[in-house]
Structure 1
Amino acid sequence: MAGISFYWGLGLESSLITGTIRVGIQLSILGAILQPIFTYGAKHWWIVLIYVLFMITLASFEASARSRYVFDGMIPCVFASFVISIATTSAFAFGILLEVSPFWNPQYVIPIIGMLLGNGINGVALALNTFLNAVVSDATAEIELCLAYGGTFREASALMTQQAVRVSAMPMLNSMAVMGLISIPGMMTGQILGGSNVVEAARYQMLICYLIGATAFGTILAAIVVCLYVAFDSQNHRLRLERFSKR
């Protein structure tokens, strides 16, 4: 892949090589640390909490790193968006649907939250990049014109907000549309290969898909709302471009 990138002048050689190396190292480390976490985390909830917060922190850094424009406190804002969305869907899943005992059982909590975060990162990254590009660069003139004619900051940013949500939700919606018809999801594939009942595997996968959709959509909306209030003075309805810098 790196050779093809070099031949076509795509400039992705470094990213491809780095990503390939990171996958091997990260999965090796994961395999080494998960077993003790599963063993001791079943008795001590704080071990599971620390690891989940660690995962959310890394997800926040990754989602924020792909945006062309940044602002002070961007990573903590993305972190808070993930925490709110993950906490809501996880409480519903582990406390009501799965009835896990104890409810922090790491064998369930860590893999499922990992899947939720993994799918949420792309959505949040697309949302941040699309919205900030529009507000700070592409649609600045239109926003200023709307504000000058007496429009509120919500009215001035409505089209950009809608576009950011659509763009960021599109990969998730496309994936859900073909799931079970064209693609067999990873969790279901793993359970089938492990000898689990196919119907039971399908039920678990349906639950995961709904949780992924709810978590990703909730995190996307939370992140865009935060960006909206950073980009605008909500009291005076002014655009605050000085709060942003180009990466």
Structure 2
Amino acid sequence: MQATIDISWYAVGCFMLILAIPALINFRFELKLGKEISIATLRMTVQLMLVGVYLGLLFELNSLWLNLAWLAIMLMVGASAILGGAKLPKKVLFFPITAALLIATLPLMGLLLMVLLQPDPVYSAQYLIPLAGMLLGNCLSGNIVALQRLFTAFSEKRSDYESALVLGATPKQAAWPFIQSALQQSQAPILASMATTGLVTLPGMMTGQILGGTDPIIAVKYQLIIMVAIFTMLTISVTLALLLTLKVSLQPTGFIRIKQLITH
């Protein structure tokens, strides 16, 4: 197969001129997203370039402690992004969400690196960092949807919750239908993606490997592993995030600290 084709920075810059199309659409439909598009594009470009340089150094050093430190940063930034996207207070929920991501990530990473792939060394940055990034990156939106759904339900169906409490349900039992609904909605997109992968879409990881010259069958094996790991990671992290959030959001009396969580 053909080796990876390098792309010059000039070519990359020219290609990015197609951003004029969404910019024109933004202007024509008066979406007022020009500032957000500009900032997002600039941040993405700068961050990717810095990360590219840093990862090159990280791969070369291949230090266990540096790799773990980078993983810790990824977890904390991920938790912050989830709470920011869900518009929930970081001061109250940062630790529960970070804990949920950590508990979901470590066993899966251990299984992938120590049992399945077995790189040498097992903490190899070439495997640890990209795999952790894919797992965390693909579970962010699911967690945001779940948390938004949970607090929206508390707001819109407060009477149902209070009625359950009056009938003798514990706060957790009264909120259980909200947890179920949040879990269902968080999993719907990835289930649709899994059902159409291979026919409608070719995932980024598989496409990247094929473009890099990897045998398609090997790329398929990696993609199957990653999709199963992402779905498992999403399910575990969302479940833990909801339960831990519920724990700090409800008082033993059943009082909902919803207003405090939203306004802070």
Q: TM-score, normalised by structure 1?
A: 0.92
Q: Aligned partner of 1:200: which letter?
A: I
1:66 is aligned to: 85
1:112 Cα offset (Å): 0.7
Q: Which one of the candidate residues 13, 16, 31 is aligned to 1:10?
A: 31
Task: Give runs of aligned pairs for residues 79-94 of structure 1, distance below 5 A.
Answer: 79-94=98-113
Larger radius of gyration: 2
Tell me if structure 2 keeps the 8 A contact 1:72–1:243. no
Equivalent position of 1:246 in the other structure: 263
Contact 1:68 1:246 in 2 (8 A): no
Structure 1 residues 146-155 or 157-166, which shifts more? 146-155
Aligned to 1:21: 42
Distance 2:225 2:88 in 1: 35
Q: Whose strand proportion is higher, 1 or 2?
A: 1
What's the CA shift for 1:5? 2.9
> What does 1:142-221 align with in structure 2 at a 5 Å threshold?
142-221=160-239
* Alpha-carbon offset, residue 186 of structure 1: 1.0
Name the CA distance, whole Å, in 2 between partners of 1:157 and 1:6: 43
Question: Structure 1 residues 48-57 or 149-158, which shifts more?
Answer: 149-158
Quote the residue 2:18 is aligned against.
none
1:116-160: CA deviation from partner (whole Å, max 9, x where unpaired):
11101111111111112222x212222112212222222211221
Structure 1 counterpart of 2:126, from 72, 83, 107: 107
Q: Which residue, out of 130, 144, 150, partners 1:131? A: 150
Distance 1:171-1:149 versus aligned 2 partners, 3 A rule:
same
2:139 corresponds to which residue? 120
Could you tell me the TM-score, scaled by structure 2's length? 0.86
Deviation at 1:242? 5.4
Change (3 A) 1:225 1:95: same
Counterparts in 2 of 1:153 and 1:71: CA distance versus 1, 3 Å = farther
Change (3 A) 1:203 1:153: same
**Aligned residues: percent identity?**
29
Q: Counterpart of 1:96?
A: 115
Q: Does 1:54 align with 2:67?
A: no
Shift in Å at residue 63 of structure 1? 0.9
SS in structure 1 opposite 2:86? coil
Q: Distance in 2 between matches of 1:29 and 1:10?
A: 31
Matched residue, 2:7: none
Alpha-carbon shift at residue 6 of structure 1 (Å) = 4.0
Post-superposition shift, 1:95?
0.9
What amino acid is aligned across from residue 239 of structure 1 in structure 2? I
Q: CA deviation at 1:16?
A: 2.0
Q: Cα distance, 1:168 vs. partner? A: 1.1
Looking at structure 2, the residues matched to 9 and 165 of structure 1 have their Cα atoms a distance apart, in angstroms, of 35
The one-letter code of the counterpart of 1:56 is L
1:241 CA drift (Å): 3.6
The superposition leaves residues 64-109 of structure 1 with CA deviations (integer Å, 9 ceiling, x where unpaired) of 1011343643122211111110001111111111122211010001
For 1:87 and 1:193, locate their aligned partners in 2 and report how far apart those are by CA, in whole Å: 30
Q: CA deviation at 1:3?
A: 3.6
Q: Which runs of 5+ in 2 are unaligned?
A: 1-21
C-alpha displacement at 1:221, in angstroms? 0.5
Alignment of 1:216-231 (within 5 A): 216-231=234-249
Count of residue correspondences: 243
Q: Secondary structure at the match of 1:77?
A: helix
